[in-house]
Amino acid sequence: MRGRFITLEGGEGTGKSTQARHLAAWLRARGHTVVETREPGGSSGAEALRAVLVDAPVDGWDAVGEALLLSAARRDHLRHVIWPALRRGDWVVCDRFADSTLAYQGHGHGLAPETLEVLYELVAGPFGPDLTLVLDLDPNVGLMRARARGAVTRFEALDIAFHARVRLGFLDIAGHEPERCTVIAADGDEDTVTARTIKAVQARIEAWSADEGMLTGRVS
């Protein structure tokens, strides 16, 4: 099977980074070569922009500025990490991608989705994830988890109304693209959420295998 691009999305404290690691390990155990990456970041240029974005004061950037920085970082990430990996036939597991921009800068901060669509088209064209796992959790619980880790990021410092809009944004994206997105309840312990995540990916892999078998005349 060719390499696939899988993204994990969700609000603060939903456990995306942890589940991305578990998923990558599970895929490797199945014999796949896996590139683990993240946004913003993932490449040297994008990591530099991540620092500029994340380490700024809460009011350091408005929605437009954030979207422009994220778009520049995404372009570097795609050119230097994601696209080369997929061309090699590797699988890519990414902690956040463009859905986070739409949820945070769009639904959260009110930037017009049409503006974000133009930026994404410029950066990535028709390219997109094969599968997106949206980890869903009450933002009050998520923020408690995130803040318990220690230092609070500029996004975690925003009010609960913002995070509620972000959550609804992710659910809206998933509702409009059910063929790409699967919502995973993130309210259990780590092992429970991992089991839910792996089950969803396993089901999608079986569907991909069946589709590829039909295209090549094989029955898997």
**Which residues line the annotated binding site for ATP?**
10-17
Annotated binding site: 10-17
Read off φ and ψ for residue 175, nearest 5 degrees. -65, -30
Alpha-carbon distances, residue 29 vs 32, 33, 96, 173 (angstroms) = 7, 9, 23, 31
In 30-186, alpha helices (H): 44-54, 63-77, 83-88, 98-101, 113-124, 139-148, 160-176
DSSP state of 82: I
Beta carbons of 7 and 77 less than 8 angstroms apart? no
Read off φ and ψ for residue 13, nearest 5 degrees. 75, 15
Q: Quote the CA–CA distance of 144 and 96 in Å, as a whole number.
A: 20
Grouping H, G, I as helix, E, B as strand and the rest as coil, residue 154 is: coil
Beta carbons of 41 and 77 less than 8 angstroms apart? yes
Q: Quote the CA–CA distance of 40 and 112 in Å, as a whole number.
A: 20
Beta carbons of 94 and 82 less than 8 angstroms apart? yes
Q: Quote the CA–CA distance of 198 and 20 in Å, as a whole number.
A: 10
